[in-house]
Structure 1
Amino acid sequence: MNLAKLSVLRPVAMAMFIIFLIILGSVSLRHLPVDLFPELTFPVVAVTASYDGAGPEEVEELITQPIEELMASIPNVESVSSTSRTGGALILVAFDWGTDMDFAALTMRERIDQVREMLPSEVDAPQVMRFDPSMLPIVQLAITEPGGDTAEARQLIENEIKPRLDAIDGVASIQVEGGSEQEIRIDIQPDVLAQYGITLQDLQQLIASENINFPAGEVHDQNQSFPIRVSSEFTSVYDLEQLPIPTNAGVVLLGDLFAISEATAPLSQESYLNGEPAVGLSILKASGTNTVQITRALNDELDDLKQQLPEGIEIQTIFDQSRFIEQSINAVFWNILLGGGLAALVLYLFLRNIRSTLIIALSIPISIMTTFLFMYFSGETLNVLTLGGLALGVGMMVDNAIVILENIYRKRQEGESLREAAIHGTGEIGGAIVASTLTTVVVFLPIVFVDGLAAQLFKPLALTVAFALLASLITALIIVPLLSSTFLRTTDETSVFQVGFEKTKAVYKRLLEFSLQRPKRIIAVTTALLAGSLSCIPLLGTEFLPAQDQSFISIDVRLPPGSALSATYQVTEEINEKLAAFTEVELAYVTVGGTDNFSLGAGSQTNRASYSLLLSDTDRRTTSDLEIADSIRSSLASVPNADIRVSASDSGFTDDPISITVKGQDLQTLEQLSEAIVATVSTIEGVREPTTNYADGNPEVTVAINRQAASSYGITSAQIASTISDATRGLVATRIARHGEELNVRLQVDDAYTASLEQLEQLLLSTPGGERIPLSSVAAVERGEGPSTIRRSDRMREVTVTASILNRDLGSVINEIEEALIEEVRPLLPNGYRISFGGQNEQMNDAFTKLSGAIALAIVLVYMVMAGRFESFFYPFIIMFSVPVTAIGVIFGLLLTNQPIGVGSLVGILILTGIVVNNAIVLVDYINTLKKNGYSSYDAIIQAGPIRLRPILMTALTTILGLIPLTLGFGEGTEIQQPMAIVIVCGLAVSTFITLLLIPVIYFLTDQRKEKRRQHAETLH
């Protein structure tokens, strides 16, 4: 080819080109962002709205339903789901994949602005935010103080630690959780307020108006201008105590009316590290930034901070995403080196020439550097999947170089000069090499048109493999001829391996002759093997993505709705005792109250605790995180009055393995149906923790206002609600700045006035006439029960049952659940209610459908590329017979390794579709060349087969051995690539040996038939 000729005749220019490529590739590698997975974009936007004090039914009616109706009318909306609970609502709007999410979020904000006036005035402005995996923390820290004083620890974080970490480039935000805050509390006695004729609101306005600091214009004096600042700020408790308050008894100092003290603010959330009080920090990175680089900068800054912090302050890392990233990338990197070494060993065994081996070995780093260059300019990141694609491509990188070098080597042995052998050897086989590379690259084209989570995960992998193959093509056509024309030497040494290979070639020639004489027998045997393997498909099972051991376990603890924070904390103490028995757990961090950092939440959840358990590294334990999680699950099953869920191997972007949703209108009916589903699912083998998200009724106090009685006193319902709210929750009057921090000044009614229903009934209300009446005069105070959480999807109420799986594949479990539900739950289903499956099963089915279509389209594209290369539809048709026989190896390999069919397996099959035809292309191309030189079909096949046996075996073995480390699953983070590697290795191994006999047989039969037709046509003429 012209490129080879240019390379051989201009060696200095080509050498400079190689150096330039290596330098550019090295610079690109340094600037590639490093992350665990590719940047993912989910078509989900969340709307959160807070309505303090409102119950779930009020939130549903006043907030959720109006927003849902607006959201459902937005274009490209796939579904709208919501959660309404005490104090707030969360509405999730899912769009079709491929929607412009920036425009969708903008449209949502515009719609919410339209409905804003319809919402209660007490509702804060609803917030719209995109759901993005980058919102998950990359690092979680826990800070402990020797005396357990979390207020001091939180103050230290806010003033010293957080500002320094915030300043690190790439840090988007830092969330502080747990820890107490100081405030100044004024203990209000309603009797005193009544005695002096003042109200709580009057007191709040007066305190706020006296704590001022604002500019008041300027004054001119002696040709100078001076700004005026009016300052009357409070700086201490003493200033508050000396504040004069006008009353009906004259002016009285605030300190003489009420007790004023510095106290701890009411807690809604507490954090503990290994049982000790702690304050948590969750650090989020900016989108598109380098996780590893940011984490290293954070660790460097923390090392400096630890030396400067007061003695006894400890900072522990609970979760560090970069730790798993680095372990995973190192594992894949060593797999690449090991695979490359095995490929080089194959080359040396076949060629027995150290110079030839070095020529091919040099093509690997050059191809890798060129791949990094392509990745940089295409905007890819260096992650587990792109490096996995590089590992998949290492064995294939040398295929083109092997075929060209082997042909050059053969030409040299036939007596041509080095330059002639390099030019003629490359030119003779160059067209077939380009075609075989394009057939492998073109299979990735359909995945560009596939949407969904699987496509987002595997598009970068597909691009990386395609880049690696294109880089290897450039290397094979330019660099291999250049190096061969300079360094290649032939040898006449006869090694044991070469003698063995010559015998193998002779055996293959006899097998080929036998096959051509009995073609029907070969086709029958192949058909029988294919039919037998296809019949084993039901034995494989199915899954979405394999679990990844990240040495991290989370525990979600939920007490009955309405449980106080103290009750939740008592349960965590019992859990801590049980966790102490697990030596694999290095750190146990728990947040009591609120939600964890890995989920969106809305409203108050004091009945909930979230654990983050850091396990020892995988090389220091014999059990997986899933097995440890199952043992913890069994140990915690005896904890009373708590719903406990333990999960591991959570990637952060996949749903629950089992998710069954029941939709209807009546909550009680939904509860009964969900309990029946839980009971049914519990009987299925391998299912763990079947749980319904239906929450029991939330204890509540209902104040039923008698409007006629209230109006007779001149009191409105809003005034009554405001008085009760101020009495129970307190009222922040102002803030005091002191020593670089701000403290709330809270007016808090003494607990004695709201400690029970009877005392709440005696809460005094002020009438416009100055009269003081008890609450019981205008309202009935009763204890009741309301729903704690109401969930809706597509404007229908729903309850979802979720569960995890251990040691079984997802597809088999779902099939058994469906059969059980038909027998036991379907008869109980009333009209208007329906059951649907979601979670990973829905994700899996969606991915399987789209990837199956991509594989079908890939086969068509491969055929079209070959048709263009051979300028015929006949020979590509013969070559395509090598594709279906790969099923024999694929199914056998998955059965042997006990791997279910998953997204990784399907992507492996997609890649395999483009690889398996390469050997057939090289063989058929040479058969055609011999036929042009006057050989008959039979003689051309017998001659071409043994000659092409060496490059075919070399390319197949280098690809197979290059993937062996990934197939065995060495190191962390290789779980996703392992199924792909198994499919490619087993499929290619079996198809190579079958193809060596099947393709010549089919070629011979079809050529014979073609010749007979030609002769028949000539006879007719």
Structure 2
Amino acid sequence: MNRVARPLITSVPGVASAEISGGAPPAMRIWVDPAKLSGRGLTASDIAAALRANNVQAAPGQLKGASTAINITAGTDLRDVESFRQMVIKGGDAGGLVRLGDIATVELGAQNYDARALSAGHKSVTVAIAPTPDGNPLDIVSGVKALLPQMQRVAPPGLEVRNQFDTAHFVEASIDEVAHTLIEAVAIVIVVIFLFLGTFRAVIIPVVTIPLSLLGTAGLMLAFGFSLNLLTLLAMVLAIGLVVDDAIVVVENIHRHIEEGASPIEAALLGAREIVGPVIAMTITLAAVYAPIGLMGGLTGALFREFAFTLAGSVIVSGVIALTLSPMMSSRLLHARMGEGRLEKALERVMHGLTGRYVRLLGRTLTTRGAVLMAGVLILGASVVFFLGAKRELAPQEDMGYVFVQTKAPQYANVDYTARYSAQVEALFHKVPEYADSWFDVGGTGGANIGFGGIIMKEWADRTRNADQIQAEIAGSTSAVTGVYATAFQDSPLPAGSGGLPVQMVIRSADDFPEIYRTLEAIKGAAWGSKLFAFVDADLAFDSQEAHVSIDRAKAGELGVSMAEIADTLALMVGENYVNRFNWHDRSYDVITQVPQDRRLTPDNLGAFYVKTGSGSLVPLSTVASITINPQPNKLPQFNQMNSATISAVLMPGVTMGQAVDFLKAQPLPPGTTVDWLSNSRQYVHEGNQLTVSFAFALVVIFLVLAAQFESFRDPLVILVTVPLAVSGALVPLYLGFTTLNIYTQIGLVTLIGLISKHGILMVSFANEMQHTHGWNRAEAIAHAAAVRMRPILMTTAAMVAGLVPLLFAGGAGAASRFAIGIVVVMGMLIGTLFTLFVLPTIYTLLAGDHRAKAQATSHHAPSDGEPAHA
């Protein structure tokens, strides 16, 4: 593995490291028999001295003549097991020669035996591959898989080399699901547009916008160096509903002029001229709303930068197409006789009837403005309740196709103990009906008492249960395994930084460790009692054991036993330290002396080791030392150069990261004690509020953009008044528990700002035009604008909602995040559209500016601003 697999894997572009688990580099292991050693009058120091004297890796140099140079090699080192066995330890006296093989078992073994690995129940060696910060997981996995046949060819007989597990499979499956969703969304949007327009000739115009906008967006992505990944594909799914909006508005306006008697070319020119201002305003507004997301820092910015700029690019491209290609196509495809078909007539009757009912309802609404305002205030109050009551997390938990399990044995347990019980846990994986593969590693960086593994499940389409249900089954079955505490949890769908259990709270203090431990235990007890956590653990505990060798220096001095002799004996017999190195297959490896494991099981074994006195005789170590067992902390951790302890936890099913972090933050701490966070909880604490700031920033950006477009500060207020009302609708499914407040739902809320603003722009710009050209007052102008713009508003809402329907019924990999963003935008659009049609006209009559042209004021009678007009 070290000579072939690791060099090959680390050569793959994007690989940062390749850590081997379950195996170790080769070493010459010398298993000393203490009884034979002392029986020959020898100690561990004699073995070390003989090895240093007889196994020397020399570099003699060169012979240099007048014109030649000859390298010198000297056979002063030992290179195979037999040479080490035959090495003389003692000789020349009446007792004859004593060779190393006489007092020890010599074999080519491993440098250490501190780790174990299982693969599908079989012994294995695993290689954990970590990417560089800018490494592409898909490219890395593809590169590593291409190397597997080469590694298999050089592997020993009976050794299988395979790719067991990679997180890129989830990414690939998610991309495939989003690609299918993209196709479904296009088909649904086409059907919805047809149902509104009633003719294929009219449908062709906005439908053509979809592929052209997506191709234009792909060109922008190529220019900016963006990749076709999960988030950019998700941006394209959202873009399907967005890119047809402007074309729908243009086509509907041209169609309206044709119905009023204009020729197709005249209608195209007039309709495009009327709508150019609103379309530009809508395009700039919706593109600007993503600027705060694209400019964010941290993990959220890194994840969503390409998403934001992809959406903004698609909106800009669609706006250009709507003002250029759509009018031209309308002049060729639309004509005055389009409404003569049975379906067209039926649709027109429905739309005229709907418009009539809307106008009557709007008229009543404008006469009861006080009640409308009161309802708006109540809804805003309810939105605060919805927001505060929504569960929070950084990202929704995805079914990633695997479940992790960690086992923890008592602190004093060795690798053999932990591996034995971890194997029992791994065996339970095979009983899960959705089982496809599994692995388990013991030891390594987690320590001898920690095991970590996982079950890989069948493909999403091949099983009916999700990861949450399988996790619950594993948690229940593994609880019956005695000897270790097993906890099942799922991986974060986002890069998790330090890794480990999802919740990690670091307690830092200048106090000593016993004081930190008391604080730690109080928080652990409260966490267990809260019922929020399925597992709670800490890295600081006073449950380790220390075998302390107390030396009677007076007696040692009397016998002539030096401290160096005692230290060398313990290090060479127990410590697994290397004495020197040997060459094997052109590489250098350790030579290690140690007694077999069965000779170092208890403290009494240490006292039986012999040390040499000043006279050359041997005495047991127990003659000059006593061994006592003392408790000690398992470790003395530090964080940012301060004494610390870390609480690690796994959440109960249905509990979010926000609930866990809020609970832990509320726990009392002694003065001078601070906290920090690691793993997924660190992401949540540091990234969770960034999008909230972006939401507020997006409102400011849109307000300034609209103020510049309308040359007024009042009209943008009217347009944006429905945004918080739409947000209240979007928060309802979060409050009811359908999803959580996370980065995906927050992205949906930011998107909602731009979408709802487009409706307001359509209505307010037309009402202002009516004031200016006809001298109507605000009530009359907004009533007429609402009646005329109702159809394009409903059409754009329907197209957007229809494009997101596949997200609401998403399944497979990445379904949770797609559902989260889809449900927010859909609910927000439906509720926001309703408020746009009724609340916005009311606010317009109260806040909008007076755009009537004074110079054109005539004897035309206009009702007062509070009086509704008749369309």
| TM-score of the two chains, using structure 2 as the length reference | 0.86
1:176 to 2, 14, 20: 20
2:478 to 636, 657, 667: 636
Q: CA deviation at 1:327?
A: 0.9
Task: Give distance in 2, aligned partners of 1:809 and 1:843.
Answer: 13
1:941 to 748, 769, 782: 782
Q: Report 1:74-473 matches (<5 A).
A: 157-158=1-2, 165=9, 168-179=12-23, 183-188=27-32, 190-191=37-38, 194=41, 199-209=46-56, 211-212=57-58, 215-220=61-66, 225-232=68-75, 234-241=78-85, 249=93, 254=99, 258=103, 261-265=106-110, 266-302=112-148, 312-411=158-257, 421-447=267-293, 450-473=296-319
Cα RMSD (Å) of the superposition? Answer: 3.8
Task: Give distance in 2, aligned partners of 1:194 and 1:538.
Answer: 79
Q: CA deviation at 1:361?
A: 2.0
The alpha-carbon distance between structure 1 residues 311 and 674, as it changes in their structure 2 partners (threshold 3 A), is same
Counterpart secondary structure, 2:815: coil
Task: Give distance in 2, aligned partners of 1:537 and 1:237.
Answer: 71
Residues 730 and 747 in structure 1, CA contact (< 8 A), matched pair in contact too: yes
The alpha-carbon distance between structure 1 residues 730 and 838, as it changes in their structure 2 partners (threshold 3 A), is closer
The alpha-carbon distance between structure 1 residues 798 and 649, as it changes in their structure 2 partners (threshold 3 A), is closer
Deviation string 1:30-55 (CA, Å, 9 cap, x unpaired) is xxxxxxxxxxxxxxxxxxxxxxxxxx
The alpha-carbon distance between structure 1 residues 814 and 760, as it changes in their structure 2 partners (threshold 3 A), is closer
Match of 2:842 in 1: 1001
2:829 counterpart of 1:979: no
Q: CA deviation at 1:396?
A: 0.9
Task: Give distance in 2, aligned partners of 1:435 and 1:358.
Answer: 25
Q: CA deviation at 1:986?
A: 0.9
Task: Give distance in 2, aligned partners of 1:775 and 1:692.
Answer: 37
Task: Give distance in 2, aligned partners of 1:813 and 1:750.
Answer: 47
Counterpart secondary structure, 2:396: coil
Task: Give distance in 1, aligned partners of 2:380 and 2:671.
Answer: 47
The alpha-carbon distance between structure 1 residues 215 and 928, as it changes in their structure 2 partners (threshold 3 A), is same
Match of 2:364 in 1: 514
Q: Report 1:567-586 matches (<5 A).
A: 567-586=417-436
Task: Give distance in 1, aligned partners of 2:709 and 2:646.
Answer: 58
Match of 2:496 in 1: 653
Q: CA deviation at 1:961?
A: 1.3
2:799 counterpart of 1:958: yes
Q: CA deviation at 1:435?
A: 1.5
The alpha-carbon distance between structure 1 residues 915 and 225, as it changes in their structure 2 partners (threshold 3 A), is same
Task: Give distance in 1, aligned partners of 2:45 and 2:441.
Answer: 41
Residues 578 and 592 in structure 2, CA contact (< 8 A), matched pair in contact too: yes
1:800 to 635, 647, 666: 647
Task: Give distance in 2, aligned partners of 1:935 and 1:1011.
Answer: 5
Residues 419 and 485 in structure 1, CA contact (< 8 A), matched pair in contact too: yes
Match of 2:866 in 1: none
Residues 762 and 774 in structure 1, CA contact (< 8 A), matched pair in contact too: yes
| TM-score of the two chains, using structure 1 as the length reference | 0.74
The alpha-carbon distance between structure 1 residues 359 and 743, as it changes in their structure 2 partners (threshold 3 A), is same
Counterpart secondary structure, 1:898: coil
2:466 counterpart of 1:620: no
Task: Give distance in 1, aligned partners of 2:796 and 2:589.
Answer: 72
Counterpart secondary structure, 1:884: helix
Match of 1:83 in 2: none
The alpha-carbon distance between structure 1 residues 673 and 561, as it changes in their structure 2 partners (threshold 3 A), is same
Residues 2 and 25 in structure 2, CA contact (< 8 A), matched pair in contact too: no
Q: CA deviation at 1:328?
A: 0.5
Residues 335 and 970 in structure 1, CA contact (< 8 A), matched pair in contact too: no
Q: CA deviation at 1:713?
A: 7.1
Residues 396 and 739 in structure 2, CA contact (< 8 A), matched pair in contact too: no
Task: Give distance in 1, aligned partners of 2:414 and 2:285.
Answer: 64
Letter in 2 for 1:931: Q
Task: Give distance in 1, aligned partners of 2:71 and 2:62.
Answer: 5
2:757 counterpart of 1:922: no
Match of 1:902 in 2: 742
Unaligned 5+ runs, structure 1: 1-156, 596-600, 1016-1021
The alpha-carbon distance between structure 1 residues 243 and 657, as it changes in their structure 2 partners (threshold 3 A), is closer
The alpha-carbon distance between structure 1 residues 193 and 954, as it changes in their structure 2 partners (threshold 3 A), is farther
The alpha-carbon distance between structure 1 residues 305 and 357, as it changes in their structure 2 partners (threshold 3 A), is farther
Residues 27 and 589 in structure 2, CA contact (< 8 A), matched pair in contact too: yes
Residues 16 and 131 in structure 2, CA contact (< 8 A), matched pair in contact too: yes
Residues 10 and 18 in structure 2, CA contact (< 8 A), matched pair in contact too: yes
Letter in 2 for 1:262: E
Amino-acid identity (%): 24
2:574 to 728, 735, 739: 728
The alpha-carbon distance between structure 1 residues 304 and 198, as it changes in their structure 2 partners (threshold 3 A), is closer
Task: Give distance in 1, aligned partners of 2:600 and 2:815.
Answer: 58
Moved more, 850-859 or 648-657: 648-657
The alpha-carbon distance between structure 1 residues 831 and 518, as it changes in their structure 2 partners (threshold 3 A), is closer
Task: Give distance in 1, aligned partners of 2:402 and 2:809.
Answer: 23
Counterpart secondary structure, 1:398: helix
Task: Give distance in 2, aligned partners of 1:718 and 1:366.
Answer: 82
Counterpart secondary structure, 2:739: coil
Q: CA deviation at 1:813?
A: 6.0
The alpha-carbon distance between structure 1 residues 812 and 431, as it changes in their structure 2 partners (threshold 3 A), is same
Residues 198 and 247 in structure 1, CA contact (< 8 A), matched pair in contact too: no
Match of 1:892 in 2: 732
Counterpart secondary structure, 2:165: strand
Match of 1:142 in 2: none
2:410 to 560, 569, 574: 560
Task: Give distance in 2, aligned partners of 1:736 and 1:812.
Answer: 57
The alpha-carbon distance between structure 1 residues 837 and 201, as it changes in their structure 2 partners (threshold 3 A), is closer
Q: CA deviation at 1:878?
A: 1.8
Residues 534 and 650 in structure 2, CA contact (< 8 A), matched pair in contact too: yes
Residues 79 and 584 in structure 2, CA contact (< 8 A), matched pair in contact too: yes
Residues 192 and 257 in structure 1, CA contact (< 8 A), matched pair in contact too: no
Q: CA deviation at 1:639?
A: 2.4
Moved more, 985-994 or 353-362: 353-362
Letter in 2 for 1:330: D
The alpha-carbon distance between structure 1 residues 839 and 611, as it changes in their structure 2 partners (threshold 3 A), is closer
The alpha-carbon distance between structure 1 residues 564 and 941, as it changes in their structure 2 partners (threshold 3 A), is closer
Residues 193 and 200 in structure 1, CA contact (< 8 A), matched pair in contact too: no
Moved more, 434-443 or 305-314: 305-314
Counterpart secondary structure, 2:73: strand
Q: Report 1:668-707 matches (<5 A).
A: 668-706=514-552
Q: Report 1:806-845 matches (<5 A).
A: 806-811=653-658, 843-844=683-684
Residues 443 and 910 in structure 1, CA contact (< 8 A), matched pair in contact too: yes
The alpha-carbon distance between structure 1 residues 437 and 280, as it changes in their structure 2 partners (threshold 3 A), is same
Q: CA deviation at 1:391?
A: 2.0
Counterpart secondary structure, 1:547: coil
Q: CA deviation at 1:304?
A: 6.7
Match of 1:968 in 2: 809
The alpha-carbon distance between structure 1 residues 418 and 289, as it changes in their structure 2 partners (threshold 3 A), is farther
How many residues matched? Answer: 840
Task: Give distance in 2, aligned partners of 1:506 and 1:776.
Answer: 104
Counterpart secondary structure, 1:783: strand
